[in-house]
């Protein structure tokens, strides 16, 4: 399911950068508990918030979804 795959990819990229959920959420100015629920696949996240996350990782949205689709 897309929410789960998206959350898993975010977790993988964030961990690859050695950032905690707290630090990353702070960096992108997103509520920490909201970001945690995105990683858990619980949120039908919007395009604005997807953009915020991609920007925080320093990648484009298409690159973020390449990671999502690789699984």
User: Residue 25 corresponds to which tokens in the numbers above?
Assistant: 């959420």
Q: How far is the CB of 8 from its own copies (least distance, A)?
A: 13
Q: Nearer Cβ to its own copies, position 31 or 47?
A: 47
User: Residue 60 corresponds to which tokens in the numbers above?
Assistant: 């484009």
Looking at 1-9, 15-23, 28-36, which segment touches its own copies (CB under 8 A)?
Answer: 1-9
Please pick, from the candidates 18, 29, 47, 71, the single residue that binds its own copies as defined by CB under 8 A. Answer: 47
Q: Measuring CA to CA, how many Å separate 4 from each of 26, 27, 52, 54, 57?
A: 22, 23, 18, 17, 18
Q: Nearer Cβ to its own copies, position 31 or 48?
A: 48
């Amino acid at each position: 399911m897309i929410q789960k795959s998206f959350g898993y990819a975010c977790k993988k990229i964030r961990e690859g950068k050695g950032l905690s959920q707290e630090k990353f959420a702070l960096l992108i100015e997103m509520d920490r508990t909201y970001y945690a629920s995105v990683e858990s696949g619980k949120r039908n996240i919007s395009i604005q918030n997807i953009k915020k996350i991609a920007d925080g990782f320093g990648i484009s949205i298409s690159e973020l979804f390449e990671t999502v689709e690789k699984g």
